[in-house]
């Protein structure tokens, strides 16, 4: 259970008990866990071969995992859709977009269609904004004296192209959200209010330079909202006398020059973990 970080009284406890029983947890290891002490390497190795992460679960554990998947109708349906549309080597977002194309905007899967459409639109905005930020980080680590003039950043071809694309990406996000109507998706949609407000301002920036300043301001505000050692965190880069310069916070480095939106990773959506849960709970 997420609020207490304990096993749920039903499925969680059942899964744990089945795991202990079906993997034949050695008595010496059970005693060491409960009371302390040593465990011989031979029984520990033998148990590890039965209980490692990629070992297929046995009957009762698999049933508990299957029940956990089915207790939530949306989770169960999405897992089934993922099973029907295997990754086929593609990454998460293309796979999710492929699933969305096969869903009807109305009917039993309408809420999933709305969610997947919004995810794709949101990630497009997120990656464009982050691409601007990554360009600034790259400038600050790749050229002497580890700073870049604001005017130079605003004139950067990648930043200028991103500026041109952000307005359309933001419009697509707003269209996807405004067209949504299913209660399952629209509940708690207000959580996106802050992000939508920021994107509205960023996409309406008067120039590429203004977009750079908007991204820097957003980064500063996000960092200040975090606390480390009782103090607000510092931004990674900031403006000083018309230049973007690194701060004295933890150095943030990029392995290669970011030029395209595909150089920016989207948020993870745990689709591969869902695949594993579906497979683990599959009936034999």
| Calpha distance 245→248 (Å, rounded) | 10
**pLDDT at residue 250 in the model:** 58
User: How would DSSP label each residue in 86-105?
Assistant: --TT--HHHHHHHHHHTS-S
Q: Are residues 87 and 174 in the same domain?
A: no
pLDDT digits (tens, 9 = 90+) for 52-81: 988 989 999 999 999 988 999 999 999 999
Provide the 10 A C-beta neighbour count for residue 181: 12
Q: Are residues 130 and 227 in the same domain?
A: yes
In a domain, 1, yes or no: no
**pLDDT at residue 85 in the model:** 95
- Tokens of residue 153, six digits: 């950043």
Q: Are residues 152 and 247 in the same domain?
A: yes
Q: Are residues 164 and 98 in the same domain?
A: no
| Calpha distance 65→11 (Å, rounded) | 8
Q: Are residues 240 and 197 in the same domain?
A: yes
Q: Are residues 192 and 98 in the same domain?
A: no
Q: Are residues 256 and 134 in the same domain?
A: yes
CA 251 vs CA 64, 137, 146, 216, 237: distances in Å: 45, 10, 12, 17, 10
Q: Are residues 250 and 275 in the same domain?
A: no
| Calpha distance 193→175 (Å, rounded) | 15
pLDDT digits (tens, 9 = 90+) for 197-239: 999 999 999 999 999 999 999 999 999 999 888 899 999 999 9
Residue segments in the chain with a per-residue pLDDT below the cut of 50 = none
Q: Provide the whole-model pTM.
A: 0.87
In a domain, 117, yes or no: no
In a domain, 189, yes or no: yes
- How many domains does the chain fold into? 2
**pLDDT at residue 177 in the model:** 97
* Domain span holding position 55: 11-104+271-280
Q: Are residues 169 and 199 in the same domain?
A: yes
Q: Are residues 217 and 130 in the same domain?
A: yes
Provide the 10 A C-beta neighbour count for residue 277: 18
**pLDDT at residue 284 in the model:** 55
In a domain, 115, yes or no: no
**pLDDT at residue 78 in the model:** 96
In a domain, 199, yes or no: yes
In a domain, 111, yes or no: no
Q: Which residues pair with 237 in a beta bridge?
A: 246
Q: Are residues 66 and 187 in the same domain?
A: no
- Tokens of residue 47, six digits: 């148990």
Q: Are residues 79 and 167 in the same domain?
A: no
């Amino acid at each position: 259970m997420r609020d207490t970080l304990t096993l749920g009284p039903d499925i969680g406890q059942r899964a744990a008990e089945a795991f202990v029983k079906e993997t034949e947890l050695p008595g010496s290891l059970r005693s060491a866990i409960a009371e302390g002490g040593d465990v011989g390497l031979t029984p520990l190795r033998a148990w590890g071969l039965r209980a490692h992460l990629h070992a297929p679960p046995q009957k009762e554990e698999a049933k508990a995992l299957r029940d956990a998947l089915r207790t939530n109708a949306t989770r169960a349906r999405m897992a089934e859709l993922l099973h029907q549309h295997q990754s086929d080597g593609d990454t998460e977002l293309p796979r999710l977009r492929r699933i969305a194309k096969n869903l009807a905007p109305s009917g039993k899967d309408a809420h999933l269609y709305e969610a997947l459409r919004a995810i794709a639109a949101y990630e497009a905005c997120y990656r464009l904004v982050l691409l601007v930020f990554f360009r600034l980080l790259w400038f600050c680590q790749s050229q002497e004296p580890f700073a870049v003039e604001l005017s130079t950043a605003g004139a950067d071809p990648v930043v200028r192209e991103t500026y041109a694309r952000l307005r359309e990406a933001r419009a697509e996000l707003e269209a996807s959200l405004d067209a949504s109507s299913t209660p399952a998706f629209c509940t708690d949609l207000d959580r996106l209010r802050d992000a939508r407000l920021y994107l509205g301002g960023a996409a309406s920036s008067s120039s590429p330079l203004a977009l750079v300043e908007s991204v820097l301001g957003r980064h500063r505000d996000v960092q200040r909202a975090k606390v480390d050692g009782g103090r607000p965190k510092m931004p990674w880069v900031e403006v000083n006398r018309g230049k973007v310069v690194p701060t004295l916070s933890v150095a943030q480095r990029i392995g290669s020059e970011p030029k395209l939106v595909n150089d920016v990773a989207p948020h993870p959506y745990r689709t591969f973990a869902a695949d594993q849960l579906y497979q683990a709970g599959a009936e034999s």
